[in-house]
Amino acid sequence: MATEAAPAPQPTQGEETPLLHRFLEGVGGPFTFVGREIFELIRVFALTFFYLFYRPIRWREVVRQCYEMGYRSMFFIAVVMGFLGMIMVMQTGLQAQKMLGDLSMIGALFLQLLFRELGPTITAAMIAVRVGTGLAAEIGSMVVTEQVDALRMNDAEPVQYLIVPRVIACLFMTIVLTCIAMVISFASAMAGAYLMFDLNPRTFYNTDLLIWGDFITFAMKSLAYGIVIPVIGCHAGLAAFGGSEGVGMATTRAVVNASLGITFVDFALSAFGFVFIY
């Protein structure tokens, strides 16, 4: 429950110019908004973490959510990652041909980039779009039709009853989907390289550039995304209010916050990876 904002202190000398007041509010506004948003996210995350160990987990619901999130978004992610593979190969191939003349290293370079950056981040972006919005829409409409209030009346805390299974399922599915997506992406890249620059797939597939650091970055990123996406999606859903318009706002908020969240985490972990691992 939002605490009551303390009334603004009365200015001592004469009437405070409303312009200054409004200006400060204008400047401060976005920061307080972002601040409150982050604070609420941390609160939901802490609650989820607490309930993870406190109450029994509804495993049947987790499995159902895995199906809902994983299987249903498989086709969509496969298409996107397939195209991604081909696009990256085409771009790097064209430039490498123009600049360096030799194409042998494309495969290795692409694999490294895939592990470090493209694989986890782009898959997570797609999961944020498909699953993040889905969660916000589903939970948002449950809030708007007062189902969440009904849950609370029957001693089922929404975070524990609804969100914990979804977070676990999403975490698990993010890792699984990222691996599958990378295989698909690499396969289509290999095909692309063969078709466009008739580069022999065997030379395309070489892993000498891969170092342990890449696997660590990959694992860190997928784990982080796997938690960030559902928490943001569910939080946006829970904060919905006011009829169908509320559900609309919740879904928009989910996809924007999730995309921003992913970009921030990507930046932080890439910087971390760069400084420590390479």
Partner 1 sequence: MTTGHAMIELHNVTKYHERERVLDNVSLVVDEGQMLGLVGPGGSGKTLLLKVLCGLVKPDSGSVLIDGVDITRISPVELSDVRKRIGMLFQNYALFDFLNVEDNIAFPLRRAGGMGEREILERVNELLERVNLPGINYQFPNELSGGMKKRVTFARAVIAKPPIIFYDDPTMGLDPVTSSKIFIMLEEFQRTQRTTSICITHDLLGARDICDEWAMIDEGRLVFRGDLSAVRASSDPFVTEFWDGAL
Partner 2 sequence: MIGGRLLALMEQLGGMSVLAARMVWGLVTLRADRTEFWRNMYRVGVKSFPVVAVTAVLVGAITVIQTGQVVAEFGATSLVGWGTSFATLREIGPILIGLMFSGRVGANNTAELGTMVVTEQVDALRALAINPIDFLLAPRYLAIIIMMFMLTIIGNLMALLAAAGTAYVLLGVDMRLYYASFAELIELWDFFSGIIKAVGFGSAIALVSCYFGINTSGGAVGVGRAVNSAVVASAVSIFVLDFLLSAMLP
DSSP state letters, 196-256: HH---HHHH---TT--HHHHHHHHHHHHHHHHHHHHHHHHHHHT--SHHHHHHHHHHHHHH
Q: For residues 156-195, which are near partner 1 according to CB under 8 A?
A: 156
Q: For residues 75-134, which are near partner 1 according to CB under 8 A?
A: none
Interface with partner 2, residue 96, by CB under 8 A: no
Q: Which does 137 bind (CB under 5 to 8 A by kind): partner 1, partner 2, none?
A: partner 2
CA angle (202 as vertex; 197, 208 as ends), nearest 5: 105
Query: Is there a contact between 119 and 216 (Cβ–Cβ < 8 Å)?
Result: no
Tokens of 171: 């975490």
**How far is it, in rounded angstroms, from Cα 77 to Cα 126?**
7
Q: Which does 86 bind (CB under 5 to 8 A by kind): partner 2, partner 1, none?
A: partner 2
Q: Which does 133 bind (CB under 5 to 8 A by kind): partner 2, partner 1, none?
A: partner 2
From the list 100-108, 125-133, 142-150, 231-239, the region that binds partner 1 by CB under 8 A is 142-150
Q: Which does 244 bind (CB under 5 to 8 A by kind): partner 2, partner 1, none?
A: partner 2
For residue 13, the 8-state DSSP code is: S
Q: Tell which one of 68, 117, 190, 230 touches partner 2 (CB under 8 A).
A: 117
Coil/strand/helix, residue 263: helix
Buried b (16+ CB within 10 A) or exposed e, 126-157: bbbbbbbbbbbbbbbbbbbeeebeebeeeeee
Interface with partner 2, residue 245, by CB under 8 A: yes
Contacts of 75 (CB under 8 A, 6+ apart): none
**How far is it, in rounded angstroms, from Cα 67 to Cα 245?**
28
**How far is it, in rounded angstroms, from Cα 265 to Cα 253?**
18
From the list 3-11, 47-55, 111-119, 219-227, the region that binds partner 2 by CB under 8 A is 111-119
From the list 16-24, 76-84, 148-156, 160-168, the region that binds partner 2 by CB under 8 A is 76-84
Coil/strand/helix, residue 16: coil
Interface with partner 2, residue 84, by CB under 8 A: yes
Name the residue nearer to partner 1 (CB basis): 131 or 177. 131
Buried b (16+ CB within 10 A) or exposed e, 47-71: bbeebeeeeeebeebbeebbebbbe
Name the residue nearer to partner 1 (CB basis): 18 or 101. 18
CB of 54 to partner 1, least distance (A): 12
Instruction: Kindly state the number of chain residues that form the binding site for partner 2, as judged by CB under 8 A.
Output: 56
Q: Which does 4 bind (CB under 5 to 8 A by kind): partner 2, partner 1, none?
A: partner 1
Q: Tell which one of 24, 146, 245, 263 touches partner 1 (CB under 8 A).
A: 146
State the residues that interact with partner 2 by CB under 8 A.
30, 75-76, 79-80, 83-84, 86-88, 90-91, 95, 109, 112-113, 116-117, 125-126, 129-130, 133-134, 136-138, 140-141, 144-145, 243-252, 255-256, 258-260, 263-264, 266-267, 270-271, 273-275, 278
